[in-house]
Structure 1
Amino acid sequence: MMLQRQQNGNNNNNIVNNNNSSNMENQNMNGPADMRAVSAYLSINPQCKKAMQEYLCTGNINENSVRYEHIREYLTICSSIPNLRDLKNICVKKLCQNLNKRNMFEIFDLADEFDLCEVSAKCANEIVDSIERAILFPKFLGLSIAQMEALVRSPMCKNKLCLRDALYQWWQCDSDKRSDAYNDLKHTIESNLFPVPKKQCEDRSYLVTFSLQKIKNHVCPEAKVVDVQYGKEYSANLKKNIEMDHGFAACCLQQDVSEPPYVFLSGGVQKSSRKMLEYDVIMNKWRVCSQMKNPRSFHAMEAVEDRVYVFGGSNGNRNISQISEFNRKRNSWSVVGKLKWSVHSAMSIVHGDFVFLFGGKNENGDCVSVIQMFDSKTKMVEIVGYLPVECSGGRCVTVGNSIYILSEQGHCIKYCVDKNESTMLANQPEARRKFGVYLQGTEIHVTGGVDSQRNSSCYDLKYSIGSDVWAEVPHTGSKGQEISDQCFVMIPRDIQYIPFNLP
């Protein structure tokens, strides 16, 4: 290969003009770059020196003489002497040919140091492809910002959901210097995970119901997932070493279908009374969060925008009036207000920026009819009215500006938000406790639950909003059971994924 070199006066002094290998060593050096070039030249073996002499004199170089183990020395020379393009191209080719999972970090560093874009892209693909293993290496946490940007740009990123968790760990290793890069790259990765905006696709909604099961000497949660559109039920896989007690609450933090969902479980009557657990649905990982300010059971928990709120509940001796706010990013709690009426077992739902709490039980265990509204912007609570009957437990669903309230006493009540009016509808065919609820079109489905004798039902209930009529329907899955709490998870339609890593 012939090279057309254009050297400046100073560079001419640094080029070997004959076959005497001492010429390059004895030249007067004009800077650190020249010194590095000479140092690199001196470090290579005699055969490589001979190839370099021939190349610098004639412009020809034998590709086979450029050995992989001396690539760094060759690249150092290329970075110090202009227009050695042929040699640099050979180095790039050799690096790509020798790239594998054992040396991908080593080659990635060379590509970053000498600005080899093609090599950097191939290394990024290799690392992302094996990210589950790569994140275990200390070298991963030491990647530069430019290298991490290359990983995120990799087309492999779209198929590697755990890259978001890897990015988080990389940021945590040097949060002061990497915060700006992390905030930019995090959103890029999330866009790769959920590439279609909500307005461009019809999202899929999944009802996640939680119940309790006893395993050996502890009680742990189990979950089922219902595809709301088709009413199909799946069994979820949860860790068997997670302990929760009766009276825990659940909610999902997800501002939009394009955002990753996080499911939270909190509280209970005994060991878990102040516990807060986070489940990253996409990463299939659990995290123990900071404990709640107060022990709570049979409380309400709802998510508004990027905050999680807990309302009311009991600590065993008395009801809790404090409203606590959880900041997921800071993993911290703060008390932001108080309920006007301290209750536990209230029915709750989010409507816009407001959280509504319907009914509940006072400290004497009596049901109440109060309607309390929490403004997430101002953190203010007010009593906006009263239901036609006292009730507690149960679930709510939102249909436009109306909230349908299904109590454990068998009531069905419609609350009109804009008019602040409550209307009694047809009662449920039977009073169930600990059931789940979801909306399918214009029909409200009641799934699972038990009667007053804790007997499970073998059928579900369906309420037609238009005709105000209830009907019995086959259960969506296995036999109904007590449902401690529920939440909804949204997944874009083009993402082939079911919550809790189900097949």
Structure 2
Amino acid sequence: MTRMECRRSLSAPTGTENDTRISTHENESECNEIPQSKSYPVFKNIGTSQCLNASQEVSDTGQCCHPSLMGLANGHCSNVLEFFKDIPQDVRKCLVEFLSSGVTDDLEIHEGNFHHFFHVANHLNLRRLLQCCVEVYEKGDKTRIKEKIGMCECVHYLEQLVATAYRRETSVLWHEKDLDSDRKFQVLFLTKDKHARKQPVVVIDFARNFKIYKQDIEKADKVGVGFCACAFEQDGCPYIFVSGGEEKKKSQIWQYDVILDKWSKAGKMLHGRSRHLMVAVKDKIYLIGGQNVACIEEFDPISGKCVEIGSLPVAAWSSTYAVNNDTIYIFGGKNPAGCISTVQSFNCKTNRIARLGDLPCACSGSRAVVLGDFIFIATSEGHLIKFNPMDGSSELCALQPFIRRHFVMFVRNERIYITGGVRKSNDKGADENHLYKYTPETDTWSDVATLSTSLPVYTYCTVRYSGKCIIVPFEKFR
């Protein structure tokens, strides 16, 4: 069993409730128990408007999930782990073997234990197991099975699956053609009052047609104003790393496990930072700039050690960045004189640091994405800049629909999207929650959807999750 499989599997019971575990190491003795009384956070589905679901431009053509499965995790019985501890030992053993291997040949599903299997498959979104349950239901006594399910909402979803002739191929989670692709989640840390104890976080699920889920993370006192975040994959498992921030221990780096909802200390920076950059490239994380700090540190998440490897030619904070061919490009930012237009680069292979040509305009608090051979920078002054990494040249594109700050920018299906943010003026309007699409070929913006909430985004990162994994992050929090 791989570390990833062991880490996510539920160990077989020995007859007591305290034996329900989630394994975090290859050695079974190192597994950490999950207290049965643990209350797991719940993502609130804050949804999208009808125009988002109706927009063919935004729809995910590669999605294999039927619309009837979109809300499987909403409105069910109590937490799946609470349900898991109450099911018979033989069923738990079968589920453990399935979660470890993905093999369904030895599953013994019948009318008496049908609900146990279906409930777990439903909560964890285990598509192959759902298919097995549907086949048993269609061949068995449907009335008796429904009586066993009772008042649980599982009966509603079972009817939906049968009504839509739900069929699956041989993969555990996705179609075979999707197994090697990554599933992406945009994780947004929203702006908050500096005295708030909880950090509001929003997750946008790209595979579910931009479904949006929100929760407040406890222990927000781990980071202060000006912290930075990035996503990182270690041994096939996704993590979010956060570092720095004012009013707290500026040098501390924290690690957040998005599967287990667990915080842990990851290491310390050599220099305390705030309003800096935190960039993951392959197996390292780079900490760049910040207020009163010009140096670059390389952080190894395995050893937890930082090494200083150089300094920026132009010190700045509140810059933005993009990674292209192992090179980190740093755009704009602020220094004591104000906003700057400087472009700087850092090659992660050679550790070479260089200052490139300036942007057409100064900017800070901007966002940047890579699309094709170019990098696009959206500024908080409403500009959109096209940067060519090959020669360091840049040009202005069509202005954004309106001037905003604290927004999020991402690429999907060869198009650039911007949403959320706060209007720079005091003028309040509905545009703050609109989703805008930019088409590079025509240099035009279009309004494609309206979200049901505004999203003032402080910082964000993209969590990529291997399609080969059985359990998807954030699913259990909804």
Paired residues of 2:227 and 2:275 also in contact (CA < 8 A) = yes
Query: Residue 204 of structure 1 corresponds to which residue in structure 2?
Result: 183
Identity %: 29
2:312 counterpart of 1:339: yes
Of the candidates 383, 390, 404, which is equivalent to residue 418 of structure 1? 390
Go from structure 1 to structure 2 and tell me whether the alpha carbon gap of 1:500 and 1:238 turns closer, same or farther (over 3 Å shift).
Answer: farther
- Is the counterpart of residue 300 in structure 1 residue 273 in structure 2? no
Gaps of 5+ in 1: 1-123, 144-152, 161-191
In structure 2, how many angstroms separate the alpha carbons of the residues matched to 1:452 and 1:233? 24
- The reply to whether residue 348 of structure 1 matches residue 321 of structure 2 is yes
Equivalent residue letter for 2:388? C
RMSD of the alignment, in Å? Answer: 3.5
Summarize the Cα distance change of 1:376–1:432 in structure 2 as closer, same or farther, 3 Å threshold: same
Q: 1:418 to 1:126 in 2, by over 3 A?
A: same
Structure 1 residues 142 and 357 mapped into 2: Cα distance closer, same or farther (>3 Å)? closer
> Is residue 387 of structure 2 the alignment partner of residue 499 of structure 1?
no
Counterpart of 1:233 (choices 187, 205, 212) is: 212
Higher Rg: 1
User: CA contact under 8 A between 2:178 and 2:467: conserved in structure 1?
Assistant: no
Given that 1:219 and 1:243 are in contact with CA atoms closer than 8 Å, whether structure 2 keeps it comes out as: no
Match of 1:281? 258
Pair 1:134–1:422, CA change in 2 (3 A): closer
Q: What's 2:114 paired with? A: none
Q: TM-score, normalised by structure 1?
A: 0.59
What amino acid sits opposite 1:253 in the alignment?
F
Q: 1:490 matched to which residue of 2?
A: 464
- Residue 157 of structure 1 aligns to a residue whose secondary structure is helix
Paired amino acid for 2:203 = V
Asked if 2 retains the 8 angstrom alpha-carbon contact of 1:395 and 1:406, the reply is: yes
CA contact (8 A) 2:268 2:304 kept: no
- 1:458 maps to a residue whose letter is N
Between the aligned partners of 1:385 and 1:247, the Cα distance in structure 2 is: 27
1:221 corresponds to which of 196, 199, 219: 199
2:239 aligned residue (241, 262, 265): 262
For residues 123-164 of structure 1, the C-alpha deviation after alignment (integer angstroms, 9 at most, x for no partner) is x8557998644979xx95389xxxxxxxxx96553589xxxx
Name whichever structure is richer in helix by fraction.
1
User: What are the within-5 Å matches in structure 2 for residues 57-456 of structure 1?
Assistant: 126=13, 132-133=20-21, 141=29, 156-158=99-101, 200-214=179-193, 217-229=195-207, 230-236=209-215, 238-254=217-233, 259-314=236-291, 319-364=292-337, 366-453=338-425
Residues 273 and 131 (structure 1), Cα distance of their counterparts in 2 relative to 1, 3 Å cut: same
Q: In the alignment, is the contact (CA less than 8 A) between 1:426 and 1:469 conserved in 2?
A: yes
Q: Does the CA-based 8 Å contact 1:135-1:141 persist in structure 2? A: no
CA distance in 1, matches of 2:370, 2:23: 43
2:444 to 463, 466, 469: 469
Cα distance in 2 for partners of 1:335, 1:193 equals 44
Matches of 2:259 and 2:177, distance apart in 1: 18
Q: Looking at both structures, which has the greater relative contact order when contacts are Cα pairs under 8 Å and sequence separation is at least 6?
A: 2
Residues 10-45 of structure 1, C-alpha deviation per residue, up to 9 Å, x if partnerless?
A: xxxxxxxxxxxxxxxxxxxxxxxxxxxxxxxxxxxx
Aligned partners of 2:22, 2:272: CA distance in 1, in Å? 40
Task: Give, in angstroms, the shift of residue 203 of structure 1.
Answer: 2.6
Name the CA distance, whole Å, in 2 between partners of 1:142 and 1:348: 39
d(CA) in 1 for partners of 2:280, 2:14? 36
- The CA deviation at 1:198 is 9.4
The CA deviation string for residues 384-422 of structure 1, in whole angstroms up to 9 with x for no partner, is 322121112111111122111111111101112223321
The answer (yes or no) to whether the contact 2:199–2:220 under 8 Å persists in 1 is no
**2:259/2:473 contact within 8 Å kept:** no
Comparing both structures, which one devotes a greater share of its residues to strand? 2
2:455 paired with 1:480: yes
SS in 2 for 1:398: strand
Q: Letter of the aligned partner of 1:234 in structure 2?
A: Y
Runs of 5+ unmatched residues, structure 2: 1-10, 32-95, 103-119, 121-170
Q: Deviations over 1:416-448 (max 9, x none)?
A: 222332121011121111111111213211121
Whether the aligned pair in 2 keeps the contact of 1:218 and 1:243 (CA below 8 Å) is: no
Q: How many pairs align?
A: 330
Normalising by structure 2, what TM-score? 0.61
